């Protein structure tokens, strides 16, 4: 069994971690069977002004450094201290949610009737997509709101200035048109990465890092992007975990699976589950009490599990 060490107080000895909400001490444990891959962090230098046994922890981007090999039906997405193999477009998870993306399977748009093939063409399923095959006698033209588009015709749709559409065998295909940063007439709205003007750059939320237009970064639990001098941000999407107990570690945004119910923060209280304290009294789920011989030790009943912790403030004042 491997133990995750979080050292926070100089006077504290042992492998402990601090709960940021209630200032408690915990021992965190993980077993080799919990995870197929150990999250990667780097320990930076100890701050010179610090008098405690603390270090700055830097996240390692497993995806960018090539440490992770996701299945070809998925792509690697970096998370704080972790990563996620996300199914590519045209694929979905079969429900087993394997970490390396092997559970991503093809979506059969033809069988599910989610394709957009024209009436006189036949849908043919392909890995990650589908094709519309024009049968004998089929003209292959595409009917659009703007009128009829001939088979093989390309055009720019009026509803999306950054897209390029084409008609092939009765099926309309639309995609983001490629950017050519060497073209002085390139549309910078569609290709913000080609915008090198100083006025289009963005400062991150800390005011310390300058990003060019089109660049992306993560700040806190948000994904951010610079768009022509303005910062657009949205909440970080966390992977779905198929486990009973989960907890969000200090300084992280996404939950992880834990085996100890005392560490879980997704545990709903069930009043039918009771505990017995050292004095023999029955405690309901959610009850909190102090240990008689240890005034700085608090115990809580969590669905039949007695979970005890030490109050750091109490230890320092006594």
Residue 271: per-residue pLDDT: 81
Asked whether the beta carbons of 245 and 217 are under 8 A apart, the reply is: no
* The CATH classification of domain 192-235, taken from the options 2.40.128, 2.10.70, 1.10.3860, 3.40.50: 2.10.70
pLDDT value at residue 55: 53
CA distance 135 to 117: 12
**284 or 196, greater pLDDT:** 284
The token duo for 51 is 């008098």
Tell whether the model's pLDDT for residue 132 goes beyond 50.
yes
| Residue 159, CA distances (Å) to 117, 156, 203, 269, 288 in order | 21, 9, 31, 50, 59
State the average pLDDT over residues 180-205: 82
| pLDDT at res. 7 | 36
Instruction: Note whether 192-235 and 268-318 share their fold.
Output: yes
Instruction: Find out whether 100 and 69 touch, Cβ atoms under 8 Å.
Output: yes
Confidence of residue 212 (pLDDT cuts 50, 70, 90): confident
Q: How far apart are CA 90 and CA 86, in angstroms?
A: 12
The yes-or-no verdict on residue 49 having pLDDT over 70 is no
Nearest to 42 by CA among 61, 26, 68: 61
What number is the average pLDDT over the span 9-37? 35
CA 87 to chain centre: 13
Write out the DSSP string of 153-204.
-EE--TT-TTEEEEEETTEEEEEEPPP-TT-TT--TTT-GGG---GGG-EE-
SS3 312: helix
Torsion of CA 224, 227, 229, 230, to 10 degrees: -50
Is 116 a residue whose pLDDT tops 70? yes
Q: What is the mean pLDDT of the chain?
A: 77
CA–CA distance from 226 to each of 111, 182, 216, 268 (Å)?
Answer: 40, 21, 6, 40
Tokens coding 247? 């907890």
Are residues 274 and 280 in contact, defined by beta-carbon separation less than 8 angstroms?
Answer: no
Residue 2: pLDDT band (50, 70, 90) is very low
Between these two residues, 7 and 186, which has the higher pLDDT value? 186
DSSP-assigned states of every residue in 58-110: EE--TTTTT-----TTEEEEEETTEEEEEEPTTEEE-SS--TTSTTEEE--HH
Cβ-Cβ contacts under 8 Å for 141 (sequence gap 6 or more): 118, 148, 149, 150, 151, 167, 170
The pLDDT > 90 percentage for the chain reads 11
Fold of 268-318: Complement Module; domain 1 (2.10.70)
Q: Which two tokens stand for residue 272?
A: 């039918």
In the three-class reduction of DSSP (H, G, I as helix; E, B as strand; rest coil), residue 41 is classed as strand
Q: What is the pLDDT of residue 306?
A: 92
Please state the pTM of the whole predicted model: 0.36
Q: What residue spans define the domains of the chain?
A: 109-176, 192-235, 268-318
The pLDDT value given to residue 60:
77
The band of 10, judged by pLDDT with boundaries at 50, 70 and 90, is very low
Mean pLDDT within 120-145: 77
Q: What is the pLDDT of residues 79-93, one digit of tens each?
A: 877 788 889 888 999
């Amino acid at each position: 069994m491997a133990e995750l060490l979080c050292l926070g107080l100089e006077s504290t000895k042992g492998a402990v971690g601090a709960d940021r909400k209630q200032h408690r001490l915990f021992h965190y444990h993980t077993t080799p069977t919990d995870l197929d891959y150990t999250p990667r962090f780097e320990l930076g230098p100890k701050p010179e002004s610090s008098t405690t046994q603390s270090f700055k922890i830097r996240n390692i981007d497993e995806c960018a450094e090539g440490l992770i090999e996701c299945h070809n039906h998925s792509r690697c997405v970096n998370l704080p201290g972790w990563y996620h193999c996300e199914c590519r477009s045209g694929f979905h998870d079969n429900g087993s949610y394997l970490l390396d993306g092997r559970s991503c399977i093809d979506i059969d748009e033809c069988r599910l009737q989610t394709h957009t093939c024209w009436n006189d063409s036949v849908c043919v399923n392909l890995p990650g997509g589908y094709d519309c095959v024009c049968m004998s006698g089929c003209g292959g033209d595409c009917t659009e709101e703007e009128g009829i588009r001939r088979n093989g015709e390309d055009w720019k749709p009026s509803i999306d200035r950054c897209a390029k559409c084409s008609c092939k065998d009765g099926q309309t295909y639309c995609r983001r048109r490629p950017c050519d940063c060497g073209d002085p007439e390139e549309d910078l709205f569609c290709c913000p990465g080609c915008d090198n003007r100083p006025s289009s750059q963005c400062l991150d939320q800390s005011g310390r890092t300058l990003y060019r237009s089109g660049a992306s970064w993560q700040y806190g639990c948000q994904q951010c992007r610079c768009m022509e001098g303005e910062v657009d941000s949205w909440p970080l999407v966390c992977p779905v975990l198929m486990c009973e107990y989960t907890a969000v570690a200090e300084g992280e945004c996404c939950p992880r699976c834990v085996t100890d119910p005392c560490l879980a923060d997704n545990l709903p209280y069930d009043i039918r589950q009771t505990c017995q304290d050292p004095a023999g009294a029955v405690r309901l789920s959610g009850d909190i009490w102090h240990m008689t011989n240890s005034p700085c030790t608090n115990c809580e009943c969590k669905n039949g599990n007695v979970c005890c912790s030490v109050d750091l403030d109490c230890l320092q004042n006594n």
